[in-house]
Amino acid sequence: MLTPVLALIVWTLIVWIWMYATRIPAMQKAKIDPQSAVHPGALSVLPENIRVVADNYNHLHEQPTIFYALAFYTHLIGAGDTINIWIAWIYVAVRIAHSLAQIVVKKVMMRFPLFVLASVVLIILAARNVIALVV
């Protein structure tokens, strides 16, 4: 149950590297003083293909926090059966697809269904944990 957690953490770190590998050269090219980044709006002059990586990195710290809590809860109560592990892997796969839709494809109408699907996957995992608790 914890391996999918590690996988999503590793993906988040890959996006972090991707963010700085693109952002720093773009800031240098635009002659943006790094100190001006203290105000987030200062980076709004960067090209969209640079900003979307940072946006996705931020998104990987929002909804996935629920996943992390659910995965650890599932593991700790001993409910990490095969189905819940598959659900966790599905969540990770959907979040990676969401990242690629946001960063590479840049189509909101492709990204939004992935966000909804990820939410449904979390609801299913939460529901299975509630059932395990009461049964």
Structurally, how many domains does the chain consist of?
A: 1
CA max distance for the chain? 61
> Other CB atoms closer than 10 Å to residue 105's CB: what's the count?
12
The secondary structure element, H or E, covering residue 125 is helix 108-134
**54-88 confidence digits (pLDDT tens):** 999 999 999 999 999 999 999 999 999 999 999 99
The secondary structure element, H or E, covering residue 89 is helix 82-100
Domain that holds residue 94: 3-134
Predicted confidence band of residue 6 (pLDDT cuts 50, 70, 90) = very high
Q: Give the domain CATH number at 52.
A: 1.20.120.550
